[in-house]
Chains A and B, each alone.
Chain A
Amino acid sequence: MSLLAKEPAHGYELRQRLAKALGPAGGALNPGQVYVTLSRLERAGLVQAVEVAQPSHPDKKVYELTASGRERVGRWLADVTWPKVAPVEFHLKLVVAAATGLADPVALVDSQRLELLRQLHQLQALAAAEPADSDGALLLEGASLRLQADVRWLEGCERRWVERGSR
C-alpha cells in the first residue's frame, strides 16, 4: 500500500516497484500474492480501482489510495514498533531440553549455529552479486547483521549451558 502512495499503479507495476525495493528478495515474491492483497485492501476501503482505457489493450485496472488509505499509510510510517527482537522460541527450546533431558542444549546450540552460518554464507553470496549502493544490498546487510548478532547470542548460550552442564 505504501508503494501506492507515490502514485497510482496497476498490479504489474506494483510488483516491479516492490521487487526494486527488496532486491533479490523481490524475486521470491509470489506474483499472485500481490493481487490477493490488493483485493483485500479494496474490500477494506483503503484502495480503489479505476478502470483506465488503453488504446490497443484491454482495460487496465489501476489502483490508487483512498483518503483513509493515505491516512493509514501515514500511521504505518510513523509507527515505531520493531519486529520480534529476541529468538524466544529457541530460548525455550534450550530450557525445555535441559529440564526434560530430551536433548543436549549444547548440541542444539551447535546445530542451530551451523544452520545460521550456512544462511550467512548464502547471504554473502547474494550480497556479492548486488551493486554496492542499491537498496537491495542494504536489506541484505541488515539480514546479515541480524544473523551475526544471533550467532553471537548463540555463543553466549553455549558458554552458559556448558557451565551449567559442568556443575
Chain B
Amino acid sequence: MSTAGAVVEAQGLVRRYLADGSPIRAVDGVDLVVEAGETVSVMGPSGCGKSTLLHLLGGLERPDAGELRLGGRRVDGLSETAWAIFRRRSVGFVFQAFHLVDELTAVENVELPALLVGAPRRDARRRAMDLLERLAVAGRAGQLPHRLSGGERQRVAVARALVNQPLVVLADEPTGNLDSRATGDILKLFAELRRAGQALLIVTHDARVASTADRLLRMRDGAIVAQTRLGADASAAGILAGLADLGGEG
C-alpha cells in the first residue's frame, strides 16, 4: 500500500552483517517515509546504522528483509543492473567524501547521470552548466576535482545529484569534510532545495545539519527510536531575547 505523494516508503528494512562470526543487525526493522518536497534528517551516533540505511534506500546495498518503494515503485528486489538504471533517474547521492570521478572535470562529472540516461550531449552539458551556475561554481567547471576546495567539490556533487531531477536526494554526512563556512553554504543550499520542493534525506550526526529538516528521526542500534517535527511551533523571539540581553555596561 503506498501513500499518495510519498517519494520513499520503507517497511521493515533489515540488513544483517557477519562480524567475527556473529551476526549483527546493522538495520533492524526500519519503517520510513519521505514525502515529496520534504526534508528528513536521520541522526544518531556512529555505528547506529544510518549510513547503511541510506545505502539501502539508494540500492547500494540490498535489504535482507523488508519492502522498499521509490516513487510508488517496488524496488527491493531489483538486480544490480536494474537498480543502476533506476537510480540514474530517480536517486541523487551526496557523500561525505564527495566522490567525484577524479579524472573527469567538474562539469563532466555533473553531466554524467544525464549522459547515462541517454540525454543528447549538448543537452546534458547545458543542464550541467545551469546547475553549476545556480550553485555558484560555474567558474570552476573545467577543473579537475583535485583542484577544487572541499566546499566547491561538494557543490559539484550536489549539482550532479540534481541533474536528472531525482525523486529524492540522499545525503550521507554531506558536511563531514567541510569547514564551518562551507558547511554554512551547503546548509543554505539545502534550504533552497527545500524551497524548490526537492525531497531530501540527510543522514548526519551534526546537530546543525540535522536541525534544518522538517522532520528529524533518531536512530540507535539499527532502529528508529524517535521521530519529531521541527520548526513552525516556537517563535524566534525567545532566542533573540537571549541574544539581546547585554547585561550591564557593554
The short answer to whether A and B are in direct contact, CB under 8 Å, is yes
Given A117-B211, A122-B231, check contact A155 B240 (CB 8 Å): no
**Is B244's CB under 8 angstroms from A144's CB?**
no
| Residue B207 lies at the interface, judged by CB distance under 8 Å to chain A | yes
Question: What does the 1/0 interface line of A34-78 toward B look like (CB < 8 Å)?
Answer: 000000010000100000000000000000000000001000100
| Residue A135 lies at the interface, judged by CB distance under 8 Å to chain B | no
Q: Which residues of B contact A (CB under 8 A)?
A: 45, 180, 184, 187-188, 191, 206-208, 210-212, 216, 226, 228, 230-231, 233-241, 243-244, 249-250
Given A72-B249, A120-B208, A124-B208, check contact A29 B244 (CB 8 Å): yes
Residue total for A at the interface (Cβ-Cβ under 8 A): 40
Given A26-B244, A139-B243, check contact A121 B212 (CB 8 Å): yes
**Is A125's CB under 8 angstroms from B206's CB?**
no
**Residues of chain B within 8 A of A145, CB atoms compared:** 180, 208
B187 to chain A, nearest CB (A): 6
**Residues of chain A within 8 A of B210, CB atoms compared:** 117
Contact of A22 among B45, B184, B211, B244 (CB under 8 A): B244
Interface of A is mostly: helix
**Which of chain B's residues has its CB closest to A25's CB?**
B243
Q: Which residues of A contact B (CB under 8 A)?
A: 1-2, 22, 24-29, 41, 46, 72, 76, 110, 114, 116-128, 132, 139, 141, 143-145, 147-148, 151-152, 155, 159
